[in-house]
Structure 1
Amino acid sequence: MASLRSDEWRAICDRFTNAQNLSEVESRKDPENEPFRSKYQARELLREIYSALKGFEAGDGEDQEEDQEEEGGGEEQRPEEQPVDGQREDGVGQRGISGDSPAGLRAARLGAVEYYLGVNHVDTEELAGGQEHLKSCLKLLGRCSASSHNVSLFINARNQLGILSAGWDETETAQGFLETAESIYLRYMKEDGSPPTDMAEYFTTEENLLTHQERTKKFELAYTHTMYYLAQVYKNLGQNEKAATYCHSTLQRQLKLKEFSPMEWALNAASLSQYYIIKGHYMEGRHCLSAATVVAGLAGEAPSEAAAQESETESECREQLRQKRADIARCWIKYCLNLLQDAKKLLEDNIGELDTDLQEDSKRARRQEEEEEEKGRKSAVLFGSEDTFDSIASLEEKVCCLCPLDFTEARAVFLVGQNYVTQAKEYFQMDGYVTDHVEILQDYSALFRALAFFEEDLERRCKMHKRRVDMLETICNDLNSRYYLMIRRQLMFELAEIYSEMMDLKLMLANRQADTESLDSHTVKKFNHLCSTSAKYFQMFLDSLCSPEGKVPEHLEEEVLRPALVARFRVARLYGRLISSPASDQLENLNKSLNNYKYVVQYCESHPEATATVETELELSREMVGLLPLKINRLKARMATNNSLVD
């Protein structure tokens, strides 16, 4: 090719520099009515560069002869006729031209222009044109072997094609491009490993070439992008474990390279924590959340240009930061809640109470688990650099990652969750964020419920449930059913369950002192109030399923099928438990109980598909439908006898 020091070559380098400036700097200043003005100008310069390069190639006979020798003669397939990715598993070219040769360098330069044209078309929302140029880039590279001169272009072009394919829901195609990019990177690092030439350096004069460190960072960033996009692809393919692994590695590399937007990084780490939490990997989940909290604190210090562009205005930036920190707080709430709930599942007996024998066995096993924790920590993928790792570790120490085994340990987890509830509510207030605010309160209620499991004092446990009522009842009654019907249904059902739990606790307390027959009037009144209120909220839930005219639906939708049948079953049991002196009241309550049991049985008989959703409740309902009529008849007979005696 013509000498790099010629006036023509310097003109090409100047054009490229101008094109880059237009694309990356001037385009931000384009007016709203011409949003791509600078991009279009850059495109024209890139086209001029391409034409000039082709002109140099046509006039360079010596190099063309060398081309033919290296390609094995003039019978080879033209670049545009080759497959996009060649036929080799590693995705590099199969033509045999060395990437370091003049012919390889020519192909790389032309390929780079095609690459930048492809990116330009994508940026201007001309996706098909962008794909065409990117594929042309790979066809040109398909003639060459991967080397330090072209490997960066090999990877970046496939990254872009992977993004395009994913955007078109061509997930498997995207997977192919990105996995090939990964294999190219891994093979290059194994066989060579030196910092490769960046694409922009193809059009840079010698005095402006990148340093060893700059080349390394750009190349590692390209591979980091490969991993990031692969994480999204694997997630879309349902390969969640693989997606989590790639996401974790991506976040780690971004921190190491100091090339990340703090809040975006923090949110991705917090989101990753939810995967670990669901899997029961609390050590990893806690580490992700601690890192997210620490890195979120860096927002505003902007370690990269990407971070500096998080928001167009200072006020918008502040608002975004507040929301994203509140989102991270909500992830912490889920961490604490899931940890407490898993501990409950671990320690409960067959009636849902704390199994003290199992508790002692778990405490003995805990000692061995704590000894192995450090070993597990070393095997985990850790985040952080020297300036952040200590902060992350310090935050981790404030909350355990092992299931709490007694009230003291559970309370420590609860208090951490409660602190994050306060933080989340500061942003997601009822005025403007109704759904979010209610969801936070529901999680807060669930935290109290999980903590109550560990509380041995029944009075204190009852007070915890009363706190749940206080935070949910007013909101439930105030919400407009027209706009928040689903939320109100959730709250009605939960309130019904809370009152039912309080009723059971009150009865347990009373039974420790006397049997049901000798309960004092105050206790009976309190018990009946809790029982009636529970039934009231279950009935409110059932009424919300009716038509505006109050007609009960003949067919229950799948999303409300089990809740509706369970509510009927629970109402039946509650009416059967009411303590009433007048026989007429007893008879009325028993009839209401029977009618609700009958509904469950009859609905499942006419809708057999519903049987599997309420097997236990259906079995008990059938039993009660057989027994209650006998009890009702005996009560009627006693009432008739009493009436005849009075007469």
Structure 2
Amino acid sequence: MANSLQLACDAYQRAVTASDIESKTDPETEPYRSKYRARELLREVRALLGPGAEEESGEGQAGSQEDDGDEGRLLAARLAVIEFRLGVNHTETEEMSAGEEHLVKGVRLLERYRLSHDCVSTYIQAQNNLGILWADRGEIIIAQTYLESAESLYCQYMKMIGKPPLDPDEHFTPEEQRLTEQERAKRFERIYTHTLYYLAQVYKHLKQDERAAQYCHTTLQRQLEYDGYNPVEWAINAATLSQYYLGKQCYMEARHCLAAANVIFAKAGQIPSSGAVKENEAEQERLDGLRQKKAEIARCWVKYCLNLLADARKKLEDNIGELDVDLQEELKAERKKQEDEKEKGWKKAVLFGLSDVYDSILAVEEKVDWSLPLDFKEAREIFLVGQNYINEAKEYFQLDGHVTDHIEVIQDHSALFKVLAFFEEDYERRCKMHKRRVDMLEPLCKELNPQYYLLVCRQLQFEMADTYYEMMDLKVAIGNKLDEMDSHIIKKINSLAQSAIKYYEMFLDSLRSPDKKFPEKLEDDVLRPALVAKFHIARLYGKLITADGKKQLENIQISLTYYKFLVDYCANYEEAIKSVETELELSKEMVALLPARMERLRIQLSSFS
């Protein structure tokens, strides 16, 4: 028996080596060659475990061991390890049904012994793998059952026993080569960390976002604590978690995740610029992947800065979208007290406070605030951080090769300028910020082919129109402060209005059929933008300044036509009303007022003729 066990141990070690090491160099023509060899060796081990071992591992046979004591438990444990390894082997070679069968056998063998220190680790790993297998099949509820069972068993074992359990491989390892208690503990904790990681994915699939975030959190913390992680993967997961916190407006937590992502990602090593890489193709691919991940983390930082500024704007704007100065002073007075209270709560819930990288994370955090900015100075500091990350993201996401991503980065840059402009009190400087937006967006509008990028072109056209519209409004406000508008500012107002009209018309033209006909009924996704574009064009024609009475009459007539389109459309399709309630109310007023204004202008013109 001792000799058989020795042979079994030798065969098991060869199987592990073939599966975990030699398989990495298998040829493309035989990708599973080493896996298949490992499978045969594992079957050989099962046969060496003694007469009847094959049957003992079968369904319903474990019950015969009920009174076998330690010997029966050890045989069941060894057989379960083989079944577990065979289950993993089959799933790795894409034989899912066979893999499931072996994993289930392993679980059944250990059901009665699952709380013993030499069985619990194998049992939990088998359940983890069954959870993954069922999740891959899209059966998330079944996956959840297996993984929650594994979680429950870990908690029960730690509460009742607590002793670091035997690692599955130790059943086939000589006594003198077995792990230390410390190493056993570390491996067992890593297995449980995997359980939590998979549960986080399951809860995400089930739309239980808060629970998923909590489990992701705990997983990241444990990975740092037990040094069981890939730095790049960890950093991406932390950055992704930050976006959940952004959605909940938990900026302190989001910043902490992003700062941690930066620090841990740096452990992957220095990344050379794209032009400096002259290594082999595989190394180029690896470094390109690292640059992409770094750019993705940068984009998460951009979203952090953008959301922080946008939420501050929502809080501070009055009913016409301008800065509410009284509210601003009130919020400044309240903020100190709120910060003190939040800081106390934060110290009780630090995400990664147990790790040795915490000081480095704090150093990154200090570069950007987490509280809502309340004036231009504070907003600009956040803007500059966001702009630095924009530049970092653009290094990888260039227009040549990453069209959609590049455009999204540019749109985020534009959005940063837009929200910063809200905090700027000087209209001229605010106008210059919007001009920066035009300068970055207009080249994209001209370069992209609508045939291939129709939706993106529409987005850019509408944003360009809105930007020119905003600039025109600012120039009108500047002109109204003067005793009399000079020809230069009149020309500027008209030019900006015409540019806004041009881009709104481009957007509306993109909705036309191939025979240039505008749709009778608008699709839901373009309903509001199209009607708002019509409304803004109507208003813009009304803003054009001219000394020519006939031209003025012509502009008012065009303005009336566009207002009337919106009113008539909502009369024909009442479901559209809720999308443009404010614009519709104003349009109805203008449809009632403009004919009388046009009539007065005609009378004036006829009296001069």
Confirm or deny a common fold (TM above 0.5).
Answer: yes
Question: What code does the residue aligned with 1:18 have?
Answer: R
Q: Which residue of 2 aligns with 1:546?
A: 512
Q: Which residue of 2 aligns with 1:264?
A: 233
Aligned residue for 1:550, secondary structure, equals coil
Quote the Cα distance in structure 1 between the aligned partners of 2:149 and 2:58: 19
The answer for the alignment partner of 2:317 in structure 1 is: 348
In the other structure, the counterpart of 1:443 is: 412
Question: Contact 1:96/1:143 (CA < 8 Å) preserved in 2?
Answer: no
TM-score by length of 1: 0.89
| One-letter amino acid matched to 2:35 | K
Matches within 5 A, 1:494-513: 494-513=463-482
Q: Which residue number corresponds to residue 22 of structure 1?
A: 18
Cα distance in 2 between the residues matched to 1:619 and 1:48: 82
In the TM superposition, structure 1's runs of 4+ consecutive aligned residues that sit over 3 Å from their partners are: 56-59, 93-100, 384-387
Shift of 1:97: 4.8
CA distance in 1 between counterparts of 2:249 and 2:65 reads 51
Tell me how far 1:536 sits from its aligned partner: 1.1
1:99/1:145 contact within 8 Å kept: no
1:520 alignment partner in structure 2: 486
Distance in 1, matches of 2:146 and 2:281, equals: 34
For residues 394-422 of structure 1, the C-alpha deviation after alignment (integer angstroms, 9 at most, x for no partner) is 01000000001111111110110111111
Residue 314 of structure 2 is aligned to residue 314 of structure 1: no
CA shift for structure 1 position 201: 1.1
Is contact 2:238-2:260 (8 Å) kept?
Answer: yes
Matched, 1:254 2:254: no
CA contact (8 A) 1:23 1:38 kept: yes
1:56 offset after TM fit, Å? Answer: 6.2
Q: CA deviation at 1:100?
A: 7.2
- Bigger shift: residues 577-586 or 624-633: 624-633
Q: Equivalent residue for 1:174?
A: 143
Q: Is the 8 A contact 2:65 2:73 kept in 1?
A: no
Partner of 1:12: 8
Q: Please tell me the residue identity of whatever aligns with 2:48.
A: A
1:49 offset after TM fit, Å? 1.6
**In structure 2, C-alpha distance between the alignment counterparts of 1:21 and 1:597, rounded to whole Å:** 76
Q: Which amino acid aligns with 1:420?
A: Y
**Compared with structure 1, are the counterparts of its residues 491 and 94 closer, same or farther at alpha carbon in structure 2 (3 Å cutoff)?**
farther
Which moves more between the two structures, 634-643 or 391-400? 634-643
Residue 564 of structure 2: which of 573, 578, 598 is its match?
Answer: 598
Paired AA for residue 376 in structure 2: F
Distance 1:95 1:246, change over 3 A: farther
C-alpha change, 1:640 and 1:245, in structure 2 (3 Å) is: same
The question of 1:640 aligning with 2:609 is answered no
Matching residue's letter, 1:243: A
Indicate whether 1:374 and 2:343 are aligned.
yes
User: Which deviations, in whole Å up to 9, do the C-alpha atoms of 1:358-408 show, x marking residues without a partner?
Assistant: 111111111112322431321224226654211110010000000011111
Aligned AA for 2:582?
T
Deviation at 1:294, TM superposition (A): 0.8
Once the two structures are superposed, the pairs formed by residues 32-43 of structure 1 within 5 Å of their partners are 32-43=28-39
TM score, norm. by length of structure 2: 0.95
**1:74 aligned residue:** none
Aligned to 1:297, the other structure's residue is in SS state helix
Structure 2: unaligned runs, 5 residues or longer: 272-279
Residue of structure 2 in register with 1:480 after alignment = 449
- Closer, same or farther in 2 for the Cα pair 1:565/1:192, shift >3 Å? same
**Structure 1 residue aligned with 2:551:** 585
Give 1:180 shift: 0.7
Equivalent of 1:359 in 310, 325, 328: 328
**Is contact 1:266–1:291 with CA below 8 Å preserved after alignment?**
yes
Give the letter for the 2:475 counterpart: K
Counterpart check, 1:493 vs 2:459? no
- C-alpha separation in 2, matches of 1:323 and 1:641: 70
State the distance in 1 between where 2:79 and 2:186 align.
Answer: 24
Match of 1:470 in 2: 439
CA contact (8 A) 2:313 2:419 kept: yes
| Equivalent residues of 2:225, 2:355 under 8 A apart | no
- Counterparts of 1:79 and 1:118 in 2: how far apart (Å)? 14
SS in 2 for 1:20: helix
**RMSD, matched Cα:** 2.2
> Which residue number in structure 1 is paired with residue 584 of structure 2?
618
1:554-573 → structure 2 map (5 Å cutoff): 554-573=520-539
Whether the 8 Å CA contact 1:97–1:145 is kept in 2: the answer is no
Is contact 1:597-1:625 (8 Å) kept? yes
* 1:258-285 deviation digits (Å, cap 9, x = unpaired): 1111111111111110111111000000
Partner of 1:207: 176
The one-letter amino acid of 2:519's match is P
Corresponding position of 2:155: 186
AA matched with 2:38:
A
CA offset at residue 57 of structure 1?
5.2
Residues 95-129 of structure 1, C-alpha deviation per residue, up to 9 Å, x if partnerless? Answer: 99599722222222111111111100000011111
Size of the aligned set, in residue pairs, is 601
Q: Is the 8 A contact 1:197 1:215 kept in 2?
A: yes
Q: Secondary structure at the match of 1:380?
A: coil
Over 3 Å counting, the alpha-carbon distance change for 1:286 and 1:464 in structure 2 is same
How has the CA–CA distance of structure 1 residues 370 and 601 changed in structure 2, closer, same or farther, with 3 Å as cutoff?
A: same
Residue number in structure 2 paired with 1:67? none
Tell me how far apart the structure 1 counterparts of residues 521 and 136 of structure 2 sit (CA, whole Å): 40
Shift in Å, 1:630: 2.3
Structure 2 CA distance, aligned partners of 1:285 and 1:386?
18
